[in-house]
Structure 1
Amino acid sequence: MQVSIVGSGYVGTTIAACFADLGHEVVNIDIDEDIVETINSGTPPIHEDGLPELVGKHAGQDGTGRLRATTDYDSIFATDATFLCLPTPQADDGSIDLSVMETGATQLGKTLEATEDWHTVVVKSTVIPGTTEDVITPILEEESEKTAGEHFGVGMNPEFLREGTAVHDFLNPDKIVLGADDDRALADMHDIFEPLVTKSDAPVVEPDTRTAEMIKYANNSFLAAKVSLINDIGNICKEYGIDAYEVADAIGLDDRISEQFLRSGVGWGGSCFGKDVAAISAAAREREYDPAMLRAAVEVNDRQPNRLLSLMDDHVDVSGERVAVLGLAFKPGTDDIRNSRAIPVIEGLQERNADIVAYDPVAAENMRERYPNISYASNPAAVLDGAAAALIVTDWEEITELDAEFDAMTTPVVIDGRRAIDRRDGIVYEGLTW
């Protein structure tokens, strides 16, 4: 099929390249000319494992030609369906900011006005229940002067992509959710996803758009709560001198619990868990319901970086001392620092008047924009040289392989927030939950 993708961030670029790899003709629409040029040169605009290969395979002069980018919304005329993959950032009160989505829907509606052909619009962005039906669809109808379900279709297809493994997650889904309020839109979505369903044999869920929206929030809220629960249990284990990972391995054998997301540590970050939990909590409060479990999940998560710093304080006063921060991205495999646990760690070190030097294989430049006055090392060995303490925040492979490099520290105090390295003689090791 002919598919257009509005937005070329983590989700938009990934699904554009993956749809092209599944055999569709894909056009990626973005207002940023530099991003458009980058994609058309065969290079992705974001760091994501496996994405350079797919973009290089299908875009650029040497590609198959199944993927191209443009700033021109009129390109949707040549396509059967358009996916809206635009940001829904968090507002100050925790709710989502729909302004970019509304702008995109307005432009898309104006474009639909100029065609008599049926077209299906699929909301891919994470939005609270009712947004597709009550906000996006009315905008499309008003701007196009057409009626949803009669002249164009509207669907909702939530994404379940983890940064760092987004390509793998898209091509190997555990479920595909196709939310629609009319049969023709659902049929179009089936046609688009048919190659993926055939390839992956993933179960297909077919709710209405409102339920599809809620599935995404329920999914991420449950995972966030699970991480916070195992962190709470891990903190208790620490007080008793018990290895929390040994406990987690045992309870993970219970198929009602499963072993996934049981690695206790410094907490979750990124653009999804925090934003999604805050958004659905804010929406619940608007309906006068207090989501106590979700509130507790956030509170536990917010405490974890301070626990890491407190363990450091037990061993060394870092005022005026060099302190190494190992890992800046919110997780390995991405350059994304949004809600990274390294941020509260750096701010806590600044409050302690530490001389901070940080390392991350791909996220250092992003963090430099936020904290230009701290030092950044080009390799993990350099960041440790002369340090009075080292805080491990992200478990990159380069960091998990460190050993003799810790001997270059002036006082080898290592506070491990990710169970990244092993205890050994010669270093003072404190695991966050062991």
Structure 2
Amino acid sequence: MKITIIGTGYVGLVTGACLAELGNDVFCLDVDQRKVDILNNGGIPIHEPGLEEVVERNRAAGRLQFSTDVAASVAHGDIQFIAVGTPPDEDGSADLQYVLAAARNIGRYMEGFKVVVDKSTVPVGTADRVKAAIADELAQRGKTELSFSVVSNPEFLKEGAAVEDFMRPDRIVIGHDQSPEGLHAQTLMKKLYAPFNRNHERTYWMDVRSAEFTKYAANAMLATRISFMNELANLADKVGADIESVRHGIGSDPRIGHSFLYAGCGYGGSCFPKDVQALERTARDYDQSLLILRAVEQVNDLQKHVLGKKVVARFGEDLAGKHFALWGLAFKPNTDDMREASSRVLIGELVRRGATVAVYDPVAMKEASRVLQLDFADDAALLQRIRFGTSPMDTLQDADALAIVTEWKAFRSPDFERVKATLKNPVIFDGRNLFDPQLMADSGIEYYGIGRSLLARGQ
């Protein structure tokens, strides 16, 4: 099938590459010439395990092309995926300017029937706005006889496992209407996704608004589980309970399950923060109050300060002359994404209190350098207090303590004797509960986890 992907960001590039892998003829459009040049020269602009190989293989086979030519992109695909960014606006709502610009371009250049697929995460009702934008362009051209259908097909891709998630989905959600055009779109979408349904049917068909809502509901539920466990972890610290034991105890209940019950120093990334805000904004537009989600967001904002508070409780309010090592910068493992990363909050708190910090991340060093320059643009002197290490152990030199912010596998089993010997003080602040408190106590390391640090100090 001939497919057009509008936008070669995280969602668009993964979608385009994986659909090409299945034998489709995919045209990827982006207005950023620099990004297109990178892709045409064999590189990729994001870090995602396994993606570069898929892109290169299909580009070499002629099934995947990248261009800034809008007219050619519209002419190419019978199915047009809109996969552009929807950043949060000032009021928390999703900014749809890029989605609607893509829709207008389709209406401006289409000459035959098109299925227009909203792949970007968009608020309920966006399909109606996309449909209106296309219809308006067709009317201006005097081409009202041309037909099309707008479909919602939200993505459920985890950064760091996106290729696997796309190629082996647990569900495919598609929303369409019951008009003749909508039923024709259903036929084409069913053909496109047929390879994923050979073993068993994974597609959930529904109306468009329900499909749009499903994406937000899924992310809101996952964010809620994280904030719920973080609140319990903070209480566990006070009462002397081990949140990991609690996690196992409640996770064994099949009604609850084990997923997304890990306590930590807050969630980040491009999805959960903005999607929770966008869903809250949608509720306000309909005079509804999502009290639980408002609390989820507040808890997460506070949780990003928990490690900093533990550092201050141990070393004091004034950290001048103190030096800290920090492992992990990306908001989660297997990505270089620094959006809403907890590391940015902790680094800011430490350097503003006078400390210096040596940081390391297996993948995100370049992106972290760019982002931190923006974070401290108003005070360049603070940026000078941050050193980018060459390895985890390199960051420990002359450090008063170690803080762990991202749960990379490379951090899970360090040489604790060497860690202890290198640190000026054998103190670890574990923002992801990677280590066993008893092991830390036996190793002579002062350990502060999230919801389990009291155990390590024998209390």
Q: TM tier, shorter chain?
A: over 0.9
Following the alignment from structure 2 to structure 1, what is the Cα–Cα distance between the partners of residues 394 and 190? 52
Residues 71-220 of structure 1: matches in 2 within 5 Å? 71-75=68-72, 76-112=74-110, 115=111, 117-133=112-128, 135-145=129-139, 151-181=147-177, 182-198=182-198, 201-220=200-219
Give the distance between the partners of 1:256 and 1:24, measured in 2 at CA: 40
Partners of 2:274 and 2:344 in 1: how far apart? 16
Alpha-carbon distance in 2 for matches of 1:149, 1:90: 36
User: How far, CA to CA, are the matches of 2:434 and 2:161 in structure 1?
Assistant: 19
The 5 Å alignment of 1:268-417 reads: 268-317=267-316, 318-372=319-373, 373=383, 374-402=386-414, 403=416, 404-417=418-431
Contact 1:22 1:196 survives alignment (8 Å):
no
Superposed displacement of residue 237, structure 1: 1.6
Query: 3-state DSSP class of the match of 2:428?
Result: strand
SS of 2:107's equivalent in the other structure is helix
In the alignment of these two chains, the number of paired residues is 426
Query: What's the TM-score, normalizing by structure 2?
Result: 0.90
Aligned partners of 1:267 and 1:304 also within 8 Å: yes
Deviation track 1:210-236 (CA, whole Å, cap 9, x = no partner) reads 111000000000110011111111222
Per-residue deviation at 1:147? 8.4
Q: Is the 8 A contact 2:338 2:371 kept in 1?
A: no
Give the structure 1 partner of residue 376 of structure 2: none
CA separation of 1:85 and 1:149: change in aligned 2, threshold 3 A: farther
Asked whether the 8 Å contact 1:137–1:148 carries over to 2, the reply is: no
Distance 1:169 1:147, change over 3 A: farther
What CA deviation, in whole Å up to 9, does each residue of 1:329-382 have, x standing for no partner? Answer: 000000000011111111111231111221111112212123242211111111
Question: Could you say what secondary structure the match of 1:371 adopts?
Answer: helix
How many angstroms apart in 2 are the aligned matches of 1:173 and 1:166? 10
Q: Deviations over 1:137-182 (max 9, x none)?
A: 1011111238899611211100011111111111111110111121
Q: Is the 8 A contact 2:27 2:76 kept in 1?
A: no
SS at 2:209 equivalent: helix
The residue type equivalent to 1:179 in the other structure is G
What does 1:12-51 correspond to in 2, within 5 Å?
Answer: 12-51=12-51
2:235 maps to 236
Aligned residue type for 1:430: Y
C-alpha contact (below 8 Å) 2:330/2:406 kept by paired residues: yes
Are residues 236 and 147 of structure 1, via their aligned partners in 2, closer, same or farther at CA, if it must alter by over 3 Å?
farther
Q: For residues 420 and 105 of structure 2, what CA distance do their matches in structure 1 show?
A: 55
3-state SS in 2 of match to 1:206: strand
- Aligned-residue CA RMSD (Å): 1.6
Q: Which of 62, 66, 88 is matched with 2:63 structurally? A: 66
Contact 1:126–1:216 (CA under 8 A) maintained in structure 2: yes
Which consecutive unaligned segments of at least 5 residues does structure 2 have?
374-382, 453-459
Comparing 304-313 with 277-286, which one deviates more in the overlay?
A: 304-313
Task: State the TM-score, normalizing by the size of structure 1.
Answer: 0.95
3-state SS, counterpart of residue 275 of structure 1: helix
Q: Say if 2:265 and 2:304, in contact at 8 Å, map to a contact too.
A: yes
Instruction: Tell me by how many angstroms 1:202 deviates.
Output: 4.7
Distance 1:20 1:269 in 2: 30
1:433 and 2:451 correspond: yes
State how far apart, in whole Å, the 2-side matches of 1:216 and 1:304 are.
24
Q: Is the 8 A contact 1:316 1:388 kept in 2?
A: no
**Cα distance change of structure 1 residues 90 and 399 upon mapping to structure 2, 3 Å threshold:** same
Amino acid at match of 1:92: E
Q: Distance in 2 between matches of 1:420 and 1:66?
A: 42
Q: Percent identity?
A: 37
* Aligned residue type for 2:306: R
| Separation of aligned partners in 1, 2:49 and 2:81 | 22
Q: Secondary structure at the match of 1:325?
A: strand
Matches of 2:410 and 2:61 in 1, distance apart?
35
Aligned residues of 2:173 and 2:204 also touching (Cα < 8 A): yes
Q: Quick one: which amino acid aligns to residue 427 of structure 1? A: I
CA distance in 1, matches of 2:36, 2:9: 11
- For structure 1, the 5+ residue unaligned runs are none
Q: Show the counterpart of 1:57.
A: 57
Structure 1 Cα separation of the partners of residues 370 and 303 of structure 2? 24
